[in-house]
Amino acid sequence: MTQKSSELIEFLRSLRAVRDYTPEPITEGDIDDMLEVGRWSGSSSNRQPAELVVVRDQAIKQKLAEGGVAPAARASLAFVIVTPGDPATREREAFDDGRLVERLLLAAKACGLGANIGSLKGEGPSVIKQALGIPPERRVWSVVTVGRIDEQARRARAAARAGAGRKPLAEFAHWDRFSA
């Protein structure tokens, strides 16, 4: 493995969900960079079904928090992912949604920011659609929160879950056959 590929693997391995943010704003340049990464994310048959609403308004971020995405209340911004909502393509949309989310998380990390994925629950999707002017037939479920990392809160959260590392590779990967 080359040094460059080793550094990229370490970058990918170090991605963590961040739920605690400082109130510092995010630059327009960083937002644009994250949006460009999202725009270039792959999709099934290159249909590009997803659209994003960039939410910086604190009242809307609070509604996102109340709808099931608690970190939104403290984040500098949230990306609300909007898909067509066609029942015939729902599985494909969910897959594309996941690909987009992962790319946004990685883009935030590349910008030196923290990010997290959340999903709207209960009446959350309906409330957010209405608040953001999203048509009722569209699907709104995933939300990516982004902000500058509150390192003190992050350390406290890590200490509270000390010892909760990853399962061993032998329990994660199976070779040629699944073995219990």
Position 41 pLDDT exceeds 90: yes
pLDDT band per the 50, 70, 90 thresholds, residue 136? very high
The pLDDT tens digits for 63-110 are: 999 999 999 999 999 999 999 988 777 788 888 889 999 999 999 999
| 79 belongs to a structural domain | yes
The answer, as to whether pTM is greater than 0.75, is yes
Q: Report the pLDDT averaged over residues 125-153.
A: 95
> What residue numbers bound the domain in which 118 lies?
17-153
**How many domains does the chain divide into?**
1
| 165 belongs to a structural domain | no
Q: What one-character-per-residue DSSP string does 87-139 give?
A: GGGHHHHHHHHHHHHHHHHHHHHHTT-EEEEEE--TTHHHHHHHHHT--TTSE
What CATH number has the domain bearing residue 32? 3.40.109.10
The span from the CA of 119 to the CA of 142, in Å, is: 5
